[in-house]
Structures are given as structure tokens and as C-alpha cells.
């Protein structure tokens, strides 16, 4: 079924211009395949006239079959004073071989006179000649009207003339571009209505997020008649980024009822967002609307209690529609409902009427007051719950002692850690060097545990954060360490707090290893508590 609004992805071109974004050819091919599988209608692969990487991408892409998307090459109108058939970058657009070519041209009289430094008539000819030439070569042509809104506000008659020049030459779509990202939704809607009223071809929208309105402006344009939206996954792009497709797609389909993609594709939205971040080597934002881990996270006890009774009381949609899930946070703001729901998600079956629920809640509040944070340390929370439920849980291992030292010279410093770990009746005493004290201690702990638990070799530390809790205490301040670990299949977080950063780090490392060793049945073991808070693993510095 034909979509009511087309989605044009420019992650591989406009998105790659963002600070810190650098895709290899292999990256771009993998992303293009994933975008095609997701179902976007156009994939802009790059500008073959600007760099060898994009030329190679199109050479490789020609060998692939895209099932849902049409591949587009991006470029410019011909240069002033150069016949279109002699323009090198126009030739490269054709040689790239995609079925769609998107070109941009000047809409603003300011840019015509001060940037191109040509006559208004020459600019119109550059637009018309290039569109016509590409159409004569069998291409679908999308014309991006650069600086469209600023140009319209400066000289509306000339702006309209540039749109009409592209349409008269055969452009299939005229896209209005808020290139500087400075327009308001009301302005975008008004100018879009003008374009829809003057043009017979389709009208599209391309927005930037410099004012934080990239998505809002795209939605305003669609409400005013645009049928084509350009943007990037996760809002990648120059300066503050482009319109975020991860937000605009569900807004259009779920909120505005526009037909874009099958519902099954929408359920892959979070997975797509994470895949692009991983490929770009960027940590996924937990606060990403719709798909972030915090998008449907509930922390306040009142909120959690209400969500437990009626999900829509504090959730604007069912999170599963976009491949996301509800996340109940546990902190000093938690109520009984938080504990029950979080414990259930961790595999514990708690009865609301039982006293252990109150004990767990109070212990969490006490520890958070001391500086612990369990929102992103669910593994430490699971160990805490198990400890309180079992009273004296069976310890898989204990750290009897450790020592960290540093030696250095003019060439640099080397850190060394020794650790003594007891596993049943066996004692492992190991030593390791590292880039720093925590790295050395991590190596020593892993080396000791590997002798009894070789499968721990699969566990990798993926993130390490340190927070000073009371800076007025200077170097004696309490420190919170948060560690994220993975075994390749699941990811978990742990926390440690101490005036000694090494001790806090070891707490978090020990929790991570202990959680990795727990089988699902052991993570959810329950028994009568004795009411006493328990330290799961004894750690003694020597």
C-alpha cells in the first residue's frame, strides 16, 4: 500500500557530517541494508562528487538488491557558467548509478548574490538545467530547496520562482529545507501551505534541530500538506543535528495517523536506533524519546503505583509498539509498588503483604542515602534482594584481602594488584598489572576467579563511571562507582560506594562477577529472612 508520507533517510550523508560521526564503507553498507529491512522509502547514500569513500559505496551498493528502499545519490546543481553536460560532479551523480538523484539549489537571494555570486536568472537556469538533464537520463529527481524558509522570508516571489523552475524541469519532489534550523513551526506550516498551493508536484520537508524544533517543524509541515520527510536516525547531523526519524516516524504514524510503515516495522524502531548508535560507536542515549531506556521508566512511588493499575496513566503509548519496554526504577523515591514490580522483573516472586518488602524498601532508601544508586545497578539490587530474602546467602566466593601498589620512573608508572580469593576450600592468590589501580585489580580478580570459573572469561566491562558525592570533603569525599558489564548476551550494572575509590571499584567489580555466576534459579531463590541486612561478599583490604 502506498504510504501517505514518504520517509527519506539521510543518515549516511547528512548524518555523517555530525561531530564524532565517521562511517567506513562497510559501515555504510550495513546501515543501508538495515534501513532497507526496516522499510524506509529512500536511502541517501552520500555525495559521490565530494569524496572517494562515497564513490566506492555506490560501486558496492550496485551489487546489492534493496527490497523496500530506493537508493539516492546527493549532489548540487551545475556550476555557474558551466554547461550541465560538462559539469564533473553531475557526471559523477549519473555514474554512481542509483535510481534517484537528489540535488540542492539556492532559494535565498542572499545566497545567490553573496555565495554563488551570480545573477538570479543564472541560478534559475542552474536549477532547471540540472533537473532536466537528470530526468532525461531516466532518474527520479528530488530537488532540495536549500535555505528555503529564510529565502522565502527575504524574497518570497523569488523563492517561489526557484521551486517552479525545478518543477517545470520535471522534479518529482520539491523539498523545503530549513537549513539553518532557525524557523518556528508556525512559519514552517505557513510557507509549506504556500508551496503546496503553488506546486503540482509533491512537497517535502527537511529540517535541522538548531532551535530544538527539528521534529516539531517536520510535523507542522506534514500537517500543512508535505508528503515526504527527510531526516536521520537518532538525529545525527551537522551542528546540533537533523530531524530525528526515530521520533518523527512514530509521531506521524501513531499520533497523527499517517500511513508510513507496517506495524511490524515500527516494533523494530528501538533495535534500529541502537544498531545505528553501535555502528557509529556512540553510546545509546537513555533519554532518547520513544526508544531510550528512560522513555518508559518510572521512579516516583505514586507513578509506579498508578502504572501498576493503569499503564496509560503515566505512559503515552504501549512501549511495545516501538519495541521498547517499561522500566521500573528503584531509589530513595521508591514506594512498595516499585519494589514489587522491579523484583518481579529481576525474577523474584514477592508478596506485597510480606514484611520482606518493607525491609527491602527501607534498605534501599538507607543505602541510597549513603550514596548508592540502583537505577542503573540492577545486578547489585538483585544481589541485595537475594541477601535480604535468604538472610545468610551461600557465597560463591569471598575476597579475603587485596593490595594495590604503583611504581614509576621517568618513563611512566605501572600499577600492580594482588588479591586473595577463597572459593570453597580453595584459595587463589594472584597478581596482575594494569594501566591504573582499578584496571590492575580487575585483572587480578578475574585471574583468581578464572581458576574456578573459567566461563567468566566471557564477561567484559563496557563502562566505568566515577562520581564524587560530597566534594566539600576534598580528597576524603565519598565516591560512587558504577560499572556496566556484559557476557555478550545480557548487560548488567553494579555499584560500589566508599571514601576509597579502589574499595568502591572492587565492590562493584565483585558484584558484577557474583551476578555473572548466578544461575537464573539462584538469582530468584527465596527463603524466610531473618531481618538482618547482609553483605554478600566480604572484602578486606590488606
pLDDT tens column, 73-118: 999 999 999 999 999 999 999 999 999 999 999 999 999 999 999 9
Structure-block grid coordinates of residue 382 = 538483585
Q: Please report, in angstroms and rounded to a whole number, the separation of the first and last CA atoms in the chain.
A: 70
Strands (E) across 17-139 are located at 42-46, 70-76, 100-106
> How confident is residue 334, by pLDDT bands cut at 50, 70 and 90?
low
- For residue 308, pLDDT over 70 is answered with no
Residue 261 or residue 525, greater confidence: 261
Superfamily of domain 6-261, CATH level 4: Aldolase class I (3.20.20.70)
- Split at pLDDT 50, 70, 90, the class of 233 is very high
Label the pairing between strands 173-178 and 202-207.
parallel
β-strand pairing of 398-409 with 539-541:
parallel
pLDDT per residue over 119-154, tens digit each? 999 999 999 999 999 999 999 999 999 999 999 999
Q: Can you say how many angstroms the Cα of residue 411 is from the centroid of all Cα atoms in its chain?
A: 40
Task: Specify which of 73-87, 324-338, 528-542 reaches the highest per-range mean pLDDT.
Answer: 73-87
CA dist 233 and 249 (Å) reads: 10
- Does position 56 have pLDDT exceeding 90, yes or no? yes
461 pLDDT above the threshold of 50: yes
Does position 468 have pLDDT exceeding 90, yes or no?
Answer: no
Q: Among 74-88, 465-479, 494-508, name the one with the lowest average pLDDT.
A: 465-479
Three-state SS string across 326-382, please? CEECCCCCCCHHHHHHHHHHCCCCCCCCCHHHHHHHHHHHHHHHHCCCCCCCHHHHH
The whole-angstrom separation of Cα 187 and Cα 398 is: 65
pLDDT band at 464 (very low <50, low <70, confident <90, very high): confident
Helices 336-345, 301-309: crossing angle, 10 deg rounding: 60
| 540: pLDDT strictly greater than 70 | no
* Count of helix runs (H) and strand runs (E) in the chain: 19, 17
Q: Say what the pLDDT of residue 521 is.
A: 43
CA atoms of 169 and 137, how far apart (whole Å): 13
CA distance 123 to 517: 68
Section 45-53 average pLDDT: 89
Rounded alpha-carbon distances, angstroms, from residue 337 to 3, 158, 171, 293, 528: 43, 62, 58, 19, 21
Neighbour tally for 412: CB within 10 Å: 6
Q: What percent of the chain has pLDDT over 90?
A: 58
Place of cell 523545503: 176
With a CB cutoff of 8 Å and minimum separation 6, the contacts of 434 are: 415, 416, 417, 440, 441, 442, 443
Q: Is 62 or 362 the better-scoring residue by pLDDT?
A: 62
CATH number of the structural domain 398-541: 3.30.160.270
pLDDT confidence of residue 259: 93
Q: What average pLDDT score do residues 169-198 get?
A: 98
Q: What is the pLDDT of residue 391?
A: 64
Backbone torsions φ then ψ of 106, nearest 5 degrees:
-85, 130
Whole-angstrom distance, CA of residue 470 vs CA of residue 479: 8
Read off the pLDDT of each residue in 439-464 and give the average, rounded to a whole number: 88
**DSSP one-letter string for 193-218:** HHHHHH-SSEEEEEEB-TTS-HHHHH
- Give the mean model confidence (pLDDT) for residues 490-512: 90
> At 525, is the pLDDT very low, low, confident or very high (cuts 50, 70, 90)?
very low
pLDDT beyond 60 at 72: yes
pLDDT at position 337 is 62
**More confident site: 100 or 409:** 100
The 8 Å CB, 24+ separation contacts for 483-486 are 483/508, 483/509, 483/512, 484/376, 485/379, 485/459, 485/460, 485/461, 485/512, 485/516, 486/459, 486/460, 486/462
- Checking if the pLDDT of 209 tops 50, the result is yes
**What are the residue ranges spanned by the domains of the chain?**
6-261, 398-541
In the predicted structure, residue 487 carries a pLDDT above the cut 60 = yes
Which whole number is the average pLDDT over 251-272?
94
User: What was the pLDDT predicted at 153?
Assistant: 96
What distances in angstroms separate CA 508 from CA 69, 331, 418, 516, one per listed residue? 46, 18, 17, 12
48-57, 209-218, 323-332, 405-414: range with lowest mean pLDDT? 323-332
Q: Residue 31 and residue 57: Cα distance in Å, rounded?
A: 12
pLDDT at 213 over 90: yes
Residue 531: is its pLDDT beyond 50?
no
**pLDDT reading at 526 higher than 70:** no
Range scoring the smallest mean pLDDT among 229-233, 337-341, 404-408: 337-341
Q: What percent of the chain has pLDDT over 70?
A: 87
Task: Give the pLDDT score at 328.
Answer: 61
Q: What is the mean pLDDT of the chain?
A: 86
Q: 54-63, 141-150, 216-225, 391-400: which has the minimum mean pLDDT?
A: 391-400
Say if residue 258's pLDDT is above 90.
yes
* Predicted confidence band of residue 532 (pLDDT cuts 50, 70, 90): very low
For residues 226 and 149, what is the distance between their CA atoms, to the nearest angstrom? 14
Low-confidence winner among 13-27, 135-149, 244-258, 303-317 (lowest mean pLDDT) = 303-317
Please tell me what DSSP assigns to residue 414: E
Instruction: Calculate the alpha carbon distances from 482 to 375, 465, 468, 495 in Å.
Output: 10, 5, 12, 5
Amino acid at each position: 500500500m502506498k504510504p501517505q508520507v514518504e520517509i527519506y533517510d539521510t543518515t549516511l550523508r547528512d548524518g555523517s557530517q555530525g561531530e564524532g560521526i565517521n562511517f567506513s564503507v562497510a559501515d555504510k553498507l550495513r546501515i543501508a541494508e538495515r534501513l532497507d529491512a526496516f522499510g524506509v522509502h529512500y536511502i541517501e547514500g552520500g555525495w559521490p562528487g565530494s569524496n572517494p569513500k562515497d564513490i566506492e559505496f555506490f560501486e558496492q551498493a550496485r551489487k546489492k538488491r534493496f527490497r523496500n528502499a530506493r537508493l539516492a545519490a546527493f549532489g548540487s546543481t551545475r556550476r555557474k557558467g558551466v554547461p550541465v553536460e560538462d559539469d564533473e560532479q553531475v557526471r559523477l551523480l549519473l555514474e554512481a548509478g542509483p535510481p534517484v538523484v537528489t540535488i540542492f539549489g539556492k532559494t535565498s537571494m542572499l545566497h545567490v548574490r553573496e555565495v554563488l555570486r551570480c545573477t538570479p536568472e543564472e541560478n534559475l537556469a542552474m536549477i532547471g538545467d540540472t533537473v532536466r538533464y537528470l530526468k532525461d537520463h531516466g532518474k527520479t529527481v528530488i530537488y532540495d530547496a536549500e535555505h528555503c524558509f529564510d529565502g522565502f522570508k527575504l524574497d518570497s516571489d523569488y523563492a517561489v520562482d526557484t521551486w517552479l523552475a525545478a518543477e517545470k524541469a520535471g522534479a518529482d519532489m520539491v523539498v523545503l529545507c530549513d537549513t539553518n534550523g532557525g524557523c518556528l513551526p508556525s512559519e514552517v506550516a505557513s510557507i509549506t501551505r504556500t508551496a503546496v498551493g503553488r506546486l503540482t508536484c509533491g512537497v517535502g520537508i527537511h529540517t535541522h534541530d538548531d532551535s530544538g524544533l527539528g521534529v516539531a517543524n517536520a510535523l507542522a509541515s506534514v500537517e500543512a500538506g508535505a508528503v515526504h520527510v527527510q531526516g536521520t536516525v537518532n538525529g545525527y547531523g551537522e551542528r546540533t543535528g537533523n530531524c530525528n526519524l526515530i521520533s518523527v516516524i512514530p509521531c506521524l504514524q501513531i499520533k497523527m495517523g499517517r500511513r508510513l510503515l507496517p506495524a511490524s516495522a515500527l516494533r523494530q524502531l528501538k533495535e534500529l536506533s541502537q544498531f545505528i548508535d553501535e555502528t557509529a560507536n556512540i553510546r545509546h542515549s537513555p533519554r532518547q524519546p520513544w526508544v531510550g531506556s528512560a522513555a518508559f521508566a518510572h521512579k516516583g512511588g505514586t507513578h509506579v503505583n498508578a502504572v501498576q493499575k493503569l499503564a496509560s496513566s503515566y505512559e503515552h503509548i504501549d512501549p511495545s509498539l516501538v519495541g521498547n519496554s517499561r522500566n521500573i526504577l528503584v531509589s530513595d523515591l521508591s514506594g512498595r509498588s516499585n519494589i514489587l514490580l522491579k523484583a518481579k522483573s529481576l525474577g523474584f516472586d514477592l508478596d506485597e503483604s510480606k514484611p520482606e518488602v518493607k525491609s527491602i524498601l527501607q534498605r534501599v532508601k538507607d543505602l541510597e542515602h549513603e550514596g548508592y544508586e540502583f537505577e542503573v545497578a540492577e545486578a547489585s539490587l538483585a544481589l541485595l534482594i537475594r541477601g535480604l530474602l535468604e538472610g545468610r546467602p551461600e557465597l560463591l566466593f569471598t575476597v579475603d584481602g587485596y593490595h594495590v601498589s604503583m611504581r614509576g620512573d621517568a618513563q611512566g608508572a605501572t600499577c600492580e594488584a594482588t588479591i586473595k580469593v577463597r572459593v570453597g576450600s580453595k584459595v587463589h592468590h594472584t597478581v596482575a598489572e594494569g594501566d591504573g589501580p582499578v584496571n590492575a585489580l580487575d585483572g587480578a580478580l578475574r585471574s583468581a576467579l578464572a581458576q574456578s570459573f573459567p566461563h567468566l572469561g566471557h564477561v567484559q566491562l563496557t563502562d566505568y563511571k566515577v562520581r564524587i558525592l560530597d566534594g566539600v570533603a576534598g580528597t576524603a569525599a565519598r565516591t560512587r562507582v558504577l560499572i556496566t558489564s556484559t557476557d555478550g548476551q545480557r548487560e548488567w550494572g553494579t555499584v560500589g560506594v566508599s571514601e576509597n575509590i579502589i574499595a568502591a571499584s572492587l565492590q562493584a567489580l565483585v558484584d558484577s562477577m557474583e551476578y555473572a555466576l548466578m544461575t537464573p534459579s539462584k538469582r530468584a531463590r527465596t527463603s524466610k529472612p531473618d531481618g538482618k541486612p547482609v553483605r554478600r561478599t566480604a572484602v578486606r583490604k590488606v
